[in-house]
C-alpha cells in the first residue's frame, strides 16, 4: 500500500498529475484510508509507469487509454497497438524533418554577431521577410 506521495516518488509522476489521471479515468480510484487519503495497491505502480513511459514516447493520453483498454483483452490481435506506435513513429519523423528545416533557418539567422543595432538587425529582417529564407521551412 502506497500513499500518493510514495507513488509519485516511485513513478516520477507528480502528485497532482496522479490525481488528474484519476479524474479523467486513466487510473482507477484507489481505496481510501480512514482519513480519506488515497492508498494504492502495488499494481498501480505498473499502470502509472506504463502511462509515464508512453508519455515519454510522445503518446497522447488518448492513445495510452486505447492501449490500456487493449491490454485488458489479451486474446485479441494486437494490430491496433502496432498501428498506434506506427502512427506515433510517423509523427515523430515528420516533426524531426520540420525541426531540421527550422534549425537551418535559425542557424542562418543567428550568424551575424552582436555590436550592431536593432535598426539593421539581420534577425529581425529575417523574421519580417520570409523571402530572405534560404529554404521553405513549414
Partner DNA sequence: CCTAATTGCTCTAGTGACTAGAGGTTCAAG
Partner DNA sequence: CTTGAACCTCTAGTCACTAGAGCAATTAGG
Cell match 484507489: residue?
A: 30
Binds DNA (CB under 7 A): choice among 27, 38, 84, 105:
38
Q: Which is nearer to DNA, 41 or 111 (CB)?
A: 41
For residue 123 the three cell numbers come to 534577425
Give CA separation, 2 vs 33, 38, 62, 78, in Å: 11, 8, 26, 32
Give CA separation, 25 vs 57, 80, 114, in Å: 21, 21, 52
Q: Which is nearer to its own copies, 1 or 78 (CB)?
A: 78
Please, what is the Cα angle at 77 between 76 and 80, to 5 degrees?
105
Least distance (Å) between residue 37 CB and its own copies: 27
Residues that bind its own copies (CB under 8 A): 46, 49-50, 53-54, 56-59, 67, 70-71, 73-79, 81-82, 84-86, 88-89, 92-93, 95-96, 99-100, 102-103, 105-107, 109-110, 112-119, 121, 123-124, 127-128, 130, 137-138
Residues that bind DNA (CB under 7 A): 3-6, 8, 14-17, 19-20, 33-38, 55, 60-62
Amino acid at each position: 500500500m502506497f500513499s500518493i506521495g510514495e507513488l509519485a516518488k516511485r513513478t516520477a509522476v507528480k502528485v497532482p498529475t496522479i490525481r488528474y489521471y484519476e479524474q479523467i479515468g486513466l487510473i482507477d480510484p484507489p481505496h481510501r484510508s480512514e482519513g480519506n487519503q488515497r492508498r494504492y495497491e502495488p499494481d498501480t505502480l505498473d499502470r502509472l509507469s506504463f502511462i509515464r513511459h508512453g508519455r515519454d514516447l510522445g503518446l497522447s493520453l488518448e492513445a495510452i487509454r486505447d492501449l490500456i483498454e487493449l491490454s485488458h483483452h489479451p486474446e485479441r490481435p494486437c494490430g491496433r497497438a502496432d498501428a498506434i506506435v506506427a502512427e506515433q513513429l510517423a509523427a515523430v519523423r515528420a516533426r524531426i524533418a520540420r525541426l531540421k528545416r527550422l534549425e537551418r533557418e535559425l542557424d542562418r539567422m543567428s550568424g551575424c554577431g552582436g555590436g550592431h543595432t536593432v535598426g539593421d538587425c539581420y534577425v529581425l529582417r529575417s523574421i519580417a521577410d520570409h523571402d530572405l529564407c534560404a529554404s521553405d521551412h513549414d
